[in-house]
Structure 1
């Protein structure tokens, strides 16, 4: 194979401190995928950013060379003039960034941002660029590409923004694609489709891929070569069959041991009792009105429809489904941040024998009390943490608002929470930008725990975490739930995580719950075609068990193509019926 990129003896540092990336060597061949694997903060993203020379201003490239051998050119990227590098970025080498909300402009529509790549690097007219972008939007899983073209980033969910970021990186068909956690915010069905799209584009164009990921299942399905990094150094590298099949370094073996998987043996099925419900969503629907532009009438977009969910005290109710299915909308309604449509209500019961409190008709005193008892961990830690506030202030501010403890007690509590989530108390003087994506997610979890809440609503709390830290966080959440009788409304697209932590699972698609049961029933006796697609799309860290893309496409496709018992068109879905105690499926009688 032709070598496309060579990284030799790369060292990157800051100030007088030792190098944070030291002696890194690897090469990528045309048409090949190389996976960079390691914990958050191991130097994976810095290494990739050095290829495009988009490192922070304070970073120092201390040694090494980065040689790119594209069509008709061969150059050391570290010595090229900046003007030449601008021509290479987005054209010959593209990058999918980990945090799309930070990478996308909030002032421009998604379609214009993606089309800009074609206008700059392909001198394409607006009409042709729009046609190509709409095709790319459809390929990365947008159900309505025209709506995505007209939308701003803040109007889309985290997964939808990530799809736009992927489309932007791939629309010009680059020679080398650097994908930094490209599927972190995506549901497993869209992830499978995007991975299939990348593989297809590789076959068509000979594109090389550097895949930065903590998901060993994605590595097993995509990579031919694997480089394992820890603390800026390469621990192990080689063909994927060797590294995944028989890891030689103890650090690699530790990563595999921490990888969550759906258990192969089912426990006895159990139906939730719902005797002591802390949170009750009744007939909750939410419709948004979207601007149509010009003189056209605004368009109504149903986000969720007729959702009925009951969360038992001390238990975990998980909501899974594709991006844009209405999961986060349900969470925001449960928190009181969104108002449901007429006829829907959310009831909160603070204690077992206490009266229920309607969340959306609280007075100011009741709302203050509710906000202390119910906290939320947001999906995007970068946008939920103030960039101008030090971590100490971020963690102590909730306690100050609710008048809890003295200043010294608040600092002690903040330090304790940092320790709980695997960070050091000495980090409290830093700002959020000084942390990696996974570390920022841990900070969000620490902030939510400072008030000792009774209800924690977790919106993809582990999606940005590497497998070893993810294992720590899940163990922490399980421990807190047992010790403090905490209740979780847990939103995730990772079925292995859900199988571990959930007591009951609701599967959502297109705003409706299509199946609901305990995980022991759902994962071993799924009935709905979409649930079957979710399970089939879950990547496993086993190179001999690739994702069945055909099965995923059938279940995740149009409801009109499902088996007759589950088929429907538009929003006229069949009723949710109980097939057996605790197991509900949306199907025709």
Structure 2
């Protein structure tokens, strides 16, 4: 079959330094999916950006050719004029970027940004463009397309922004879609639906896909061809059946070994004892008022409703659910950053047997003490560290704020924290941009630990990391928990990660808890259709076990479409029932 895109001997370097991409070659045919697999820093994204000629200013393509099938004859993308490239970018070749907040304008509504592609390349009128965009929003999983059309990027969660980016890339039905970690920030059910959507568009339009990913489960479900990269070189390439079925290179086998998977469980576990709590969220709800503009009536959104979470001292409580399910809102209320609606309360217990401290009704001195004992690790390590502050200053800042130790003591503590997370204390003079994504996440953990907290709230701390770095971070969190006797409230959308670290799992959907149990019980005997969908949507690195999209669709659909026993309609949900051994399910008896 004739290639739609052919990359031949591509070499890229920065200045006079050694090349960061060396002699990379691959080709992709119409309707085919080629997966570029590897860890952060392997050269995958740089290779893809060179196709569209959107490399950093200091990067230079030193050799190679990139041939794309033009309208009349193949063209060399590296020799095209800039006006000709503008006709290709976003039209015949689209790209989904990994970090949607950097790729979307904060000053324009999402609908207008996506519709711009159609107005520029398809000359559509405003009404037709809006209708097309709303249809695409619905297909990428938005339940309220009109609200998304009116929203700004900062009003959306990370997963929702990524859905909007996917809609933008696919709305013009390109010949080639370059997808750079398109589902990293998405929950697994949305990931399964988006992957299914890409497959459907491929079958309808013959679109080719170059998929950049570190997830071998995604590769197994999507790709016909696989190219494994490390250190800017191609380590292994071939069909998906060959590479996934019988990997030859040691690096490929290492990626397989690091992949997280939901374990096969033989029997349910005993319930976790709730006799020594460090934090207790009781009947917390949170309602937000939305801007409507003009004279329109103000609307409200309920982020979470009547949520009860109990974090046991020295244990890990994991909260799992899709974007918009209320997980992060609960975490923010736990830290006092958001105030719950009347009727709910958040209690913190400093010591075993101590009287509870109401987090949202503290004196100044109590809040200062609480902030020392409860810290947060955020999802995005790129935005949680100041780009203008050296690492040493970032790590010592919490100590300065709380007036702890002398200047020398603070630097010693910062060095100690760097060693604790596996980094060299000599790195304190560097800025955050000098570190990889995995290293930045380690730095975020180190900063959270400088005050010796007792409770760590981790909001998707591994979602943006490749599998081997994810494995390192999870091992680090487990090790720190044992050494420092920490308690974790762990927010995630990945049940495979949760299976590794949690003592108890809470599954949330549409702002309410739908199921709660120890992980072994949850995987052995899931009851709720949404929990079943989460398990079914977890991709496995085995081409013979594809994602069951039908089962995912049943549980991931609107709560009003669930079986009658579990159905939520008009904001009215059944009660959370205890079905034995600490296993709770939201259902009608």
Fold equivalence (TM over 0.5): yes
Per-residue CA deviations over 1:82-118 (Å, capped at 9, x if unaligned) read: 2222221111111111111111111111101111111
Give the stretch that moved more between structures: 495-504 or 46-55. Answer: 46-55
Give the stretch that moved more between structures: 441-450 or 329-338. Answer: 441-450
Q: Which aligned pairs between 1:536-575 and structure 2 lie closer than 5 A?
A: 536-575=536-575
Per-residue CA deviations over 1:368-421 (Å, capped at 9, x if unaligned) read: 221121111112222322222233322222222223344344334434444444
Q: Distance in 2 between the 1:453 and 1:569 partners?
A: 41
- Asked whether the 8 Å contact 2:267–2:524 carries over to 1, the reply is no
1:285 partner SS: strand
The residue number in structure 2 matching 1:223 is 223
2:283 is the alignment partner of 1:275: no
Per-residue CA deviations over 1:214-269 (Å, capped at 9, x if unaligned) read: 11111110111111111111111111111111110111101101111111133551
1:66 partner SS: strand
The residue number in structure 1 matching 2:471 is 471
Q: Cα 1:83–1:310, aligned 2, differ >3 Å: closer, same or farther? A: same
- Mark the runs of 5 or more structure 2 residues left unpaired by the alignment: none
Q: Distance in 2 between the 1:525 and 1:136 partners?
A: 36
**Structure 1 residue 433 displacement after superposition:** 3.5
Q: Distance in 2 between the 1:48 and 1:415 partners?
A: 38
- Asked whether the 8 Å contact 1:65–1:78 carries over to 2, the reply is yes
Give the stretch that moved more between structures: 169-178 or 377-386. Answer: 377-386
2:234 is the alignment partner of 1:234: yes
Q: Distance in 2 between the 1:171 and 1:311 partners?
A: 44
Per-residue CA deviations over 1:8-59 (Å, capped at 9, x if unaligned) read: 2222222332112112111111111111111112111111111111111222
1:3 partner SS: coil
The residue number in structure 1 matching 2:518 is 518
Give the stretch that moved more between structures: 415-424 or 576-585. Answer: 415-424
Give the stretch that moved more between structures: 226-235 or 437-446. Answer: 437-446
Q: Distance in 2 between the 1:29 and 1:439 partners?
A: 37
2:210 partner SS: strand
Per-residue CA deviations over 1:419-446 (Å, capped at 9, x if unaligned) read: 4445454544443334444443333223
1:547 partner SS: coil
Give the stretch that moved more between structures: 68-77 or 103-112. Answer: 68-77
Q: Distance in 1 between the 2:281 and 2:291 partners?
A: 29
The residue number in structure 2 matching 1:211 is 211
The residue number in structure 2 matching 1:34 is 34
- Asked whether the 8 Å contact 1:508–1:515 carries over to 2, the reply is yes
2:312 is the alignment partner of 1:319: no
2:161 is the alignment partner of 1:166: no
Give the stretch that moved more between structures: 558-567 or 405-414. Answer: 405-414
Q: Distance in 1 between the 2:174 and 2:438 partners?
A: 28
Give the stretch that moved more between structures: 353-362 or 393-402. Answer: 393-402
**Structure 1 residue 327 displacement after superposition:** 0.6
**Structure 1 residue 187 displacement after superposition:** 0.8
- Asked whether the 8 Å contact 1:101–1:383 carries over to 2, the reply is no
Q: Distance in 2 between the 1:238 and 1:421 partners?
A: 37
The residue number in structure 2 matching 1:394 is 394
**Structure 1 residue 272 displacement after superposition:** 1.1
The residue number in structure 1 matching 2:585 is 585
Q: Distance in 1 between the 2:368 and 2:67 partners?
A: 58
- Asked whether the 8 Å contact 2:265–2:523 carries over to 1, the reply is no
Q: Cα 1:65–1:393, aligned 2, differ >3 Å: closer, same or farther? A: farther
Q: Distance in 1 between the 2:331 and 2:71 partners?
A: 49
Q: Cα 1:132–1:581, aligned 2, differ >3 Å: closer, same or farther? A: same
Q: Cα 1:394–1:77, aligned 2, differ >3 Å: closer, same or farther? A: farther
The residue number in structure 2 matching 1:192 is 192
2:105 is the alignment partner of 1:118: no
Q: Distance in 2 between the 1:23 and 1:370 partners?
A: 54
Give the stretch that moved more between structures: 103-112 or 258-267. Answer: 258-267
The residue number in structure 2 matching 1:361 is 361
Q: Distance in 2 between the 1:198 and 1:107 partners?
A: 29
Q: Distance in 1 between the 2:564 and 2:13 partners?
A: 60
Q: Distance in 2 between the 1:494 and 1:348 partners?
A: 27
Q: Distance in 1 between the 2:380 and 2:124 partners?
A: 34
Per-residue CA deviations over 1:346-386 (Å, capped at 9, x if unaligned) read: 00112112221111111222112211211111122223222
- Asked whether the 8 Å contact 2:265–2:520 carries over to 1, the reply is no
Q: Distance in 1 between the 2:178 and 2:423 partners?
A: 29
Q: Cα 1:430–1:130, aligned 2, differ >3 Å: closer, same or farther? A: farther
Q: Distance in 2 between the 1:172 and 1:442 partners?
A: 39
The residue number in structure 2 matching 1:80 is 80
- Asked whether the 8 Å contact 1:386–1:394 carries over to 2, the reply is yes
1:310 partner SS: strand
2:135 is the alignment partner of 1:138: no
Q: Cα 1:423–1:197, aligned 2, differ >3 Å: closer, same or farther? A: farther
Q: Distance in 1 between the 2:336 and 2:152 partners?
A: 24
The residue number in structure 1 matching 2:246 is 246
Per-residue CA deviations over 1:311-330 (Å, capped at 9, x if unaligned) read: 10111111111111111111
**Structure 1 residue 5 displacement after superposition:** 1.3
Q: Distance in 2 between the 1:78 and 1:359 partners?
A: 58
Q: Cα 1:582–1:379, aligned 2, differ >3 Å: closer, same or farther? A: same
The residue number in structure 2 matching 1:507 is 507
Q: Distance in 1 between the 2:427 and 2:26 partners?
A: 32
- Mark the runs of 5 or more structure 1 residues left unpaired by the alignment: none
Q: Which aligned pairs between 1:318-357 and structure 2 lie closer than 5 A?
A: 318-357=318-357
- Asked whether the 8 Å contact 1:441–1:464 carries over to 2, the reply is no
Please give the TM-score of this superposition, normalised by the length of structure 1: 0.97
Q: Which aligned pairs between 1:300-315 and structure 2 lie closer than 5 A?
A: 300-315=300-315
Q: Distance in 1 between the 2:23 and 2:408 partners?
A: 43
The residue number in structure 1 matching 2:259 is 259
The residue number in structure 2 matching 1:444 is 444
Count the aligned residue pairs: 589
Q: Distance in 1 between the 2:295 and 2:181 partners?
A: 41
**Structure 1 residue 509 displacement after superposition:** 0.5
1:446 partner SS: helix
2:162 is the alignment partner of 1:147: no
2:73 is the alignment partner of 1:58: no
- Asked whether the 8 Å contact 1:12–1:59 carries over to 2, the reply is yes
Give the stretch that moved more between structures: 326-335 or 360-369. Answer: 360-369
Q: Distance in 2 between the 1:75 and 1:488 partners?
A: 54
- Asked whether the 8 Å contact 2:399–2:405 carries over to 1, the reply is yes
